Structure 1
Amino acid sequence: MTKDIYNVLFLCTGNSARSIIAEAIMNQEGKGKFKAYSAGSKPGSAPHPYTLDLLRGLHHDTSFARSKSWDEFASPDAPQMDFVFTVCDNAAAEECPFWPGQPITAHWGVPDPVKAEGPEAVKRLAFSETYRMLRSRISIFFSLPLGSLDRMALQRNLDDIGKSPAKAD
């Protein structure tokens, strides 16, 4: 699998935190080799304010950030995806969207920081932890030799990334 630019879609339910964070990380750190998008199966009205605060504080562009339905990426004129990653949390019995078609898919579930309870500092810490986990998984993905792995080997690697606990940087 060798391309100049790989299109990657991150899906979750609300498209207000996890998938937007992943999109920002991949677009900034993908060095032009990846174009990331995000969407939700039941998108909210806007990205969570803590998502935007966190990304701005880490020097990410947030001009792209808006909550949107995955329907935008199912139309014939939408970019064709090479990879689709769900980032919803199966462990919390959260409903994860399913993406039909031919892209390589994997589940990289992380807890929803929007559901964090407690003082503001605890909630913001949940967003930071989400960022750390997603950045770790995306960094591992970037290290894969995409041009030399067949589809089955690539699928195994992507599944393993989602199953392994994200390590601290």
Structure 2
Amino acid sequence: MKILYICTHNRCRSVLCEAITNASSGPLQAQSAGSQPVGEVHPLSLQYLAEKGYRTEGLKSQSWDEFEDYEADLVITVCDSAAGESCPVYFGKSLKMHWGLEDPSKLEGSDKDKALAFYDTIDIIEQRVAALAELAKRSLSDESFSREQLKDALVKLGAR
């Protein structure tokens, strides 16, 4: 299952999702992009991903226009502003869902507070990716599990 994570600036939450998804076991392949990318990944995103053992090589902030030919099975928005934007027409065949994650990079406070915010966000993403991986495995291994059943299962996880 090919997933495209979307966040307006593609510098924190969507990048965290991409790295965690690509490290998961199972048939998931992820990219991330933004409608208004800032051009660089937030340094704390890279730091806390690395501390949790995730690979950070190749992670970058990029435009969703670069994914016109990606043919994502699933497009997941992770910030409320991206969820309210109109997706490009080339995502029309993709299932869409919204995860609504808090942005840990915007937290002001001590280094410990920031670390806890990033770790909490990473934990939430890990749980959701594990659920997606199970759905993807089931849809690939069970011939009777239709795209409509997958869509219904995704709705229960927050799809729209």
TM interval, shorter chain, is: 0.7 to 0.9
Alignment of 1:21-32 (within 5 A): 21-31=16-26
Give the whole-Å Cα distance in 2 for the aligned partners of 1:98 and 1:25.
Answer: 26
1:160 correspondence with 2:156? yes
Aligned-pair CA distance for 1:43: 1.1
Give the whole-Å Cα distance in 1 for the aligned partners of 2:63 and 2:33.
Answer: 5
1:59 correspondence with 2:53? yes
CA contact (8 A) 2:78 2:99 kept: yes
Tell me the residue number matched to 2:139: 146
1:20 correspondence with 2:15? yes
Deviation readout 1:46-91 (Å, 9 max, x if unpaired): 11111000111122111121101111012xxx32211111111x3x
CA contact (8 A) 2:35 2:82 kept: no
Q: How much is the aligned-residue C-alpha RMSD, in angstroms?
A: 1.7
Identity of aligned residues (%): 35
Tell me the residue number matched to 1:111: 102
Aligned-pair CA distance for 1:124: 2.0
Of 148-157 and 101-110, deviating more is 148-157
Tell me the residue number matched to 1:3: none
Alignment TM-score, normalising by the size of structure 1: 0.81
Tell me the residue number matched to 2:74: 83
Tell me the residue number matched to 1:123: 114
Deviation readout 1:106-164 (Å, 9 max, x if unpaired): 1111111122121222122111111111110110111122234323322232232238x
1:37 correspondence with 2:31? yes
Provide closer, same or farther for how the CA distance between residues 108 and 57 of structure 1 changes in structure 2, counting only shifts above 3 A. Answer: same
Matched residues, number? 150
Give the whole-Å Cα distance in 2 for the aligned partners of 1:73 and 1:143.
Answer: 25
Alignment-mate amino acid for residue 126 of structure 1:
A
Unaligned runs of 5+ in 1: 1-5, 164-169
Provide closer, same or farther for how the CA distance between residues 95 and 85 of structure 1 changes in structure 2, counting only shifts above 3 A. Answer: closer
Give the whole-Å Cα distance in 1 for the aligned partners of 2:59 and 2:104.
Answer: 17
The structure with the greater share of residues assigned to helix is: 2
Give the whole-Å Cα distance in 1 for the aligned partners of 2:5 and 2:105.
Answer: 17
Alignment TM-score, normalising by the size of structure 2: 0.85
CA contact (8 A) 2:28 2:133 kept: no
